[in-house]
Amino acid sequence: MLLIRKQQMEMLERHMLHDFKRRLHSRLRIRFPELDDETLGSKMERAMESAEHFSIRRECDVARYAEIFCGSATPDGEEPFPKAALNLLYAYRVEAEDRLANLERWLAENRTEAGR
pLDDT tens digits for range 30-76: 999 999 999 999 999 999 999 999 999 999 999 999 999 998 866 65
Q: 91 Cβ partners below 8 Å, 6+ apart?
A: 98, 99, 102
DSSP state of 35: S
Residues 53, 58, 62, 68, CA torsion sign: negative
What pLDDT, on the 0 to 100 scale, is given for residue 110?
A: 86
Average pLDDT over residues 87-110: 94
SS3 115: coil
**Residue 81 has what DSSP assignment?**
S
Average confidence (pLDDT) over 24-32:
96
- DSSP character for 28? H
CA distances from 35 to 23, 28, 47 (A): 17, 9, 15
pTM metric for this prediction: 0.85
Percent of the chain residues topping a pLDDT of 90: 75
**Does the structure show a pLDDT above 90 at 4?**
no
pLDDT of residue 116: 45
Which residue, among 49, 107, 46, 52, has the nearest Cα to 82 in the 3D structure? 107
CA dist., res. 96 & res. 60, Å (int)? 10
Contact 17, 52 (CB under 8 A): no
